[in-house]
Every structure is written in C-alpha cells, then in structure tokens.
Copies of this chain bind each other. A is one copy, B any other.
Amino acid sequence: MINLSPREKRQQRTHQAILDAARKIISTKGISGLSMRGLARVIEYSPAALYEYFGSKEEIIQAVVEQGFERFTGYLDRVDKTLPAAEYLTELGMAYINFAVQNPDFFLLMFTTAPLADVHGELSDEADETDQLKADASFSILLRGVERSIAEGITKTGANYGAFEIAYTLWVHVHGMAMLQVTNLRHISHDFDQINRLSLHILFEGLAAQ
C-alpha cells in the first residue's frame, strides 16, 4: 500500500487532480457550473480522458462528496477536546456551521447527494439501521462528546433517551442552523453567530433538565 510504482503514482495524481479541480469548480460556480468539458480544460486533458479515471460525471461528484466528508470530519476533529464538555459541544456545533458557511455550495452538495447504490441493508431487516449512523465518522465524534457530557453531568439521560438520542438532538439542531444559513438565510446580511450560540445554549438547558 505504501510503495507505488511510478505509473500508479501518476494515476493517483491525475485521479486527485480531477477531484480537486471538480471541487474548486463546484465551490466557485456551484454544481450546475460543473461540466466535463470545463473540468477537462482545467486539468488540460480532453473530455474523453476523464473516463479513463471515472466511469461518469456522477462518479466524480460522488468521489468529491466522499472526500468532502473526510475533510469535514477532519475539520470537526480539530476542535479542542480538552474543553469542558458543554463548551466542546458548542464549539463543535459552531465548527459544523462554519464549515457550511465557508463552503456553501459544496456543503449543500454533500448533504443533498444520495450515496450511489449503497450496500446498506446487508445485515438488513432485523438489525436496526441506525447502526449506520453510529458507524458514521463525524457522528461518532459528536457521540463521544455527548458521552463525555453525560459523564460530566452536563446532560442527563432517561429511560427514553441515552447518548444516541441526545446526539441526534444536537445534530438536527446544528444541521438545521447550518442548512438554513446556506439556503434560506444565505443572502441575508446578518451575523447569525450570536443567535446560533444562544440557540444552542437554550437546547443545552433542555438537555440538562431532569
């Protein structure tokens, strides 16, 4: 895995160059601004050459989204884990929103692109498919933060809800803020940082209540 032949190195470089160019185009001109011909022009290949590396435009987009989630997870993972749980979760949420606001079109694409022909349902029927969530890298970061907040007594659990339910609650709240910031509220010139923090604070009070 570590040692690559010169050919494989070239392949990987081109593969990545295509994805980088695609990501940049999407970030600047939106997903509708991405064309195979334009993409080919940027990396100085003919349009047909792209099909040596990817089966279709859809596959390219899928790969860009996949790498996007990796960068996203990395971004969230960079939040200082030595912070007290309450602050940590707040900053985690703000990082989530920040990522969205700084790459609005890209974020939008990530969260509106359905995974291509996922092989989920392999363990299927019986098993609760929310397991998929728990396996998700960025959700796991949140989940660990929540578990710590429970240990620190910041959030209370009950018969109905444990760490998973609390994490879900935080997720939807933050995701809603991020999403609205990037769609409905996008062109409203107003700084939402303060109200977002306040809003999160209110939610934490609910999570702390018995």
Q: A49 within 8 Å of B by Cβ? A: no
Q: B108, B130, B180, B205: which contacts A209 (Cβ < 8 A)?
A: B205
Q: A83 within 8 Å of B by Cβ? A: no
| Contact of A180 with B171 at beta-carbon distance under 8 Å, contacts A160-B198, A198-B161, A209-B205 already known | yes
Chain B residue nearest to A202 (CB atoms) is B206
Check B183–A114 contact: CB distance below 8 A: yes
Chain B residue nearest to A164 (CB atoms) is B195
* Residues of B contacting A184 in the complex (Cβ-Cβ under 8 angstroms): 111
Contact flags (1/0) for A179-191 with B, using CB distance below 8 Å? 1100111111110
The minimal Cβ–Cβ distance linking A29 to chain B, given in whole angstroms, is 14
Q: A118 within 8 Å of B by Cβ? A: yes
Q: A207 within 8 Å of B by Cβ? A: yes
Q: A120 within 8 Å of B by Cβ? A: yes
* Residues of B contacting A186 in the complex (Cβ-Cβ under 8 angstroms): 114
Q: A48 within 8 Å of B by Cβ? A: no
- List the 5 closest pairs (A to B, CB-CB), nearest first: A176-B176, A206-B206, A172-B176, A205-B206, A175-B176
Known contacts A111-B179, A172-B176, then 12 further A-B pairs from the complex at CB < 8 Å, ordered by chain A residue = A111-B183, A118-B187, A129-B188, A165-B199, A169-B198, A169-B199, A172-B177, A176-B176, A176-B179, A202-B207, A206-B209, A209-B209
